[in-house]
Amino acid sequence: MIDNRRNSTESNSSNSSKKYSPHEASTMSSEHDHEDVTKPLNVGDIVIRSSFADASAEEQSKIILERFNSGIKHSAFTDNPLLGRGLTRVDVSQYVMGHRNQVAELYDPRGKRFSTIYTPDPTVTVKYIGPVSKTAHYFGAYGKHVLNVPAGHYALAFSKNRPVLYGEGPHVIIDPTFEFKEHTGFVNQNEPVIEHQTINILRIPAGKIAKVWLGTQPVILESRREPYVYVDAQFRLVAPEGAKKAQLFYNATDPFIEHGSIKRIIPHTGEVAITYNNGILTIVPPPKNSLPIIIDSPTHNFEGFISTSLQTCLFPSKETKQQAIEDNKNYKAATSDEINLKIFQTRDSLRVGVVLVVAFKIVDPEMALTKLGKEGILLHIENVSFADMGKAIQLSTLQEVMYFNNTKPGSNLSAEESQVQTIQDRVKSNLAKDLSEYGIELARLQIETMKVLDTEIAKKLAGQSVTSAEYTTKQATLVKEYDIKTTEAKLKAETDNIALVQKNNAIIAEANAKLQSAQRDAEALLIAADAQRKAQEMMGELYAKYPALLEIEMAKIKSQALQSATIYITPENVGNFMNSPLVFADQINKKK
């Protein structure tokens, strides 16, 4: 949607640039408040609607006759042929039209015979014009008109030399200045643009916008469900060059659209827009409210976009290669190495050509643009990268350059690595520090290609490379075989270990079963002993309460003991034995 708010911009301050927040950026406007001319009318405000479009056909016919013949006192038609000049019958789907002294009249004979009125007055002229279809889109005469607008259409007409629009349905128009051309007067309501002199109706599809001028005021219209309506002689639609009727609008997803003093900007994630407000740098980040940023100021210019995401560049760049061709054009043809490589000389006086890969991210666009300008950022990165790399290579031998392997800036190195000063160490820290002063963060630095330009040295290095490759291949083969043997041994050990574990588990399970059985037997013995103990305790309590029972039990025990014993009684002990209680107990047992 269009941001119609008009806020005055800040006056020039001591700051050389300003970075807008997403909210501030979405409400940018012109320097001075002015009248809002972007409020269009509604279609209902300008379209004349039929008051009886929803009536039945019979009712519509009746209303048309009443309004068309309004004010006529003496009809020009009669259904009695004796009173006038008889005419041919017409179909029931037709009216007949005539006039009396150029006062048009409509008559519905309903299929019956009819005639025009005969009058002897020479000052009265009655004339039959002819039949007209009741469903005809347009008919009329002498300032009286019937307009039947088809469904889904508008009728473009004129009244008093002014454009008028009629909505669908029948209309009876009594107007001597009314003008309508049937073959060009109807237009589909769904047309994207309807122009009728000063009346303009725009239906902007989803995903599109329209550029229009209201006099000298530019307006950008966003898509919406309801059409835009302007009644303005100075209204003008700006369409893309060479656009057809269905291509009169612009894509709403375009990152930048300019119309007069209006700039419509949509920065994407990972980039910011570069603008200059009265010459002051203004960075516009992507909005947080998901709406386009509207700038309406003739002195607020849009410069372009700049990426703030990670960028990877190969140096020498295309521009540098082209410059090398131009520089050597007047002397001799430059070789491919001189064009595609940056050539340096090592400490041992060997020439090497390199291609650098530099990955970086602009973390402070305002600082980078202020100090370097949009076109100078890549050029500065390339120049300082080659300057630092050239200095490092000049201080290194070819062997040291060939073992260039550390690529990321930073201090996350082990103690052992930090003691080895490679060529990378001499380049990365200086380059990262230099770029940080311009709001640029160095993410990676790497030599993509390195070529020794001395042919003989290159051949020797190539031979060494072949030998090294052979040794490396053999070493890789031995490592692979070792890995296979190690894997097989590990697999066998794991298999044996699994079998041993299963056997141990079976033995442990059997021992556990025996242990559980012994525990159950022991528990049973303990339970039986405890029960016997409790029974004896109860018997002791019973004998303590009833001593006679104890004596009887004792007698039983003695008698049982005597049953399996042999007693020898001497004559002198007979009398004592008979008096013994044991004899008495024995007698009792026998009775039982």
Least confident of 270-274, 346-350, 405-409, 536-540: 405-409
Closest CA to 287 of 277, 275, 297, 272: 272
CA 345 to chain centre: 51
pLDDT at residue 16, rounded to an integer: 37
pLDDT greater than 80 at residue 428: yes
Identify the pLDDT of residue 170. Answer: 97
Residue 122 domain-assigned (yes or no):
yes
On whether the CB atoms of residues 147 and 157 are closer than 8 A, the answer is yes
d(CA 405, CA 417): 12
Burial of 220 (0-12, 13-18, 19+ CB in 10 A): buried
CB contact at 8 A, 214 and 232: yes
Mean pLDDT, rounded, of the chain: 82
Give yes or no: residues 296 and 347 share one domain. no
The mean per-residue pLDDT over the stretch 255-271 comes to 95
In the listed set 438, 453, 468, which residue is the last one of a domain according to the structure? 453
pLDDT at 412 over 80: no
pLDDT band, residue 585 (cuts 50/70/90):
low
Cα separation, 327 vs 336, in Å, equals 14
Band (pLDDT 50/70/90 cuts) for residue 427 is confident
Whole-number pLDDT of residue 397? 80
DSSP secondary structure string, 350-414?
-EEEEEEEEEEEES-HHHHHHHH-TTHHHHHHHHHHHHHHHHHHHTS-HHHHHT----S-SS---
Average pLDDT over residues 354-368: 93
3-state secondary structure of 120: coil
Q: Which of 306, 332, 351 is the last residue of a domain?
A: 306
Q: Are residues 95 and 69 part of one domain?
A: yes
pLDDT top residue among 162 and 477: 162
Q: What is the mean pLDDT of residues 442-462?
A: 76
| 144 and 232 belong to one structural domain | no
Give me the mean pLDDT over the 3-30 stretch.
38
Contact 386, 356 (CB under 8 A): yes
The number of beta carbons lying within 10 Å of the beta carbon of residue 440 is: 25
141 with 148: CB under 8 angstroms? no
The reply to whether 265 and 366 lie within a common domain is: no
Whether pLDDT at 409 is above 80: no
Q: Which of 542, 557, 576 is the last residue of a domain?
A: 542
The pLDDT of residue 23: 40
The three-state secondary structure class of 196 is: strand
pLDDT of amino acid 556: 80
Predicted pLDDT of residue 12: 34
Residue 218 has pLDDT above 80, yes or no: yes
Q: Which residue has the tokens 């030599």?
A: 447
- What confidence score (pLDDT) does residue 384 get? 93
Is pLDDT at 32 greater than 80 in this prediction?
no
pLDDT confidence of residue 5: 34
| 179 and 68 co-located in one domain | yes
**Number of domain units in the chain:** 5
Q: 13-27, 103-117, 160-174 — which is least confidently predicted?
A: 13-27
495-518 confidence digits (pLDDT tens): 888 988 888 888 998 888 888 888
Strand order in the sheet with 186-188: 47-48, 162-166, 153-159, 186-188
Instruction: State yes or no: pLDDT of 271 exceeds 70.
Output: yes
Q: pLDDT band at 11, cuts 50/70/90?
A: very low
The answer to the question of residue 490 being in a domain is yes
What does each C-alpha distance from 98 to 104, 128, 134 come to in angstroms? Answer: 6, 4, 15
Query: Is pLDDT of 173 > 90?
Result: yes
Q: In one letter, which amino acid is 546? A: Y
Looking at residue 278, its pLDDT comes to: 94
Which domain does 567 fall in, by range? Answer: 547-591
Are 141 and 163 within one domain? yes
- Residue tagged 């916008």 (tokens): 209
Better-scored residue on pLDDT, 429 or 132: 132
pTM score of the predicted model: 0.63
Mean pLDDT of 118-146: 92
| pLDDT at residue 162 greater than cutoff 60 | yes
% of the chain residues with pLDDT over 70? 79
Query: Residue 422: what pLDDT?
Result: 66
Q: Is residue 135 part of a domain?
A: yes
Query: Residue 9 falls within a domain, yes or no?
Result: no
Instruction: Say if residue 563 is in the same domain as residue 473.
Output: no
Whether 12 maps to a domain, the answer reads no
Provide mean pLDDT across the span 34-57: 80
Domain match, 129 and 171 both: yes
Q: Please determine, for residue 250, whether its predicted confidence score (pLDDT) is greater than 80.
A: yes
- The 10 Å CB-count burial string (b at 16+, else e) for 464-474 is eeeeeeeeeee
Verify cis geometry, omega within 30 degrees of 0, for the bond prior to 227.
no
Indicate if the pLDDT at residue 33 is higher than 50: no
Position 107 pLDDT exceeds 70: yes
Tell me: pLDDT of 533 over 60.
Answer: yes
CATH code where residue 383 lies: 3.30.479.30
What share of the chain in percent tops pLDDT 90?
Answer: 46
What is the band of 100 on the pLDDT scale with cuts at 50, 70, 90? very high
Is pLDDT above 90 for 165?
yes
177 and 62 share one domain: yes
In this structure, is residue 11 part of a structural domain? no
Please check whether residue 501 lies inside any domain of the structure: yes
In angstroms, the first-to-last Cα distance of the chain is 123
Assess whether 552 and 524 both reside in one domain.
Answer: no
Average pLDDT over residues 154-168: 96
Instruction: Tell me which of 49-58, 248-257, 447-456, 507-516 is least confident.
Output: 447-456
Least confident stretch, 293-307, 379-393, 507-521, 535-549 = 535-549
pLDDT at 365 over 70: yes
Residue 6 is assigned to a structural domain of this protein: no
If residue 542 lies in a helix (H) or strand (E), which one and from where to where? Answer: helix 455-545
Give me the DSSP letters along 267-315: PPTTEEEEEEETTEEEEEPPPSSS--EEEE-TTEEEEEEEE-S-EEEEE
Q: Considering only CA atoms, which of 386, 397, 383 is closest in space to residue 427?
A: 386
Region of poorest pLDDT, from 60-64, 244-248, 538-542: 244-248
Do 30 and 151 belong together in one domain? no
- Are 185 and 83 in a shared domain? yes
User: Where does the pLDDT of residue 25 fall: very low under 50, low under 70, confident under 90, or very high at 90 and above?
Assistant: very low
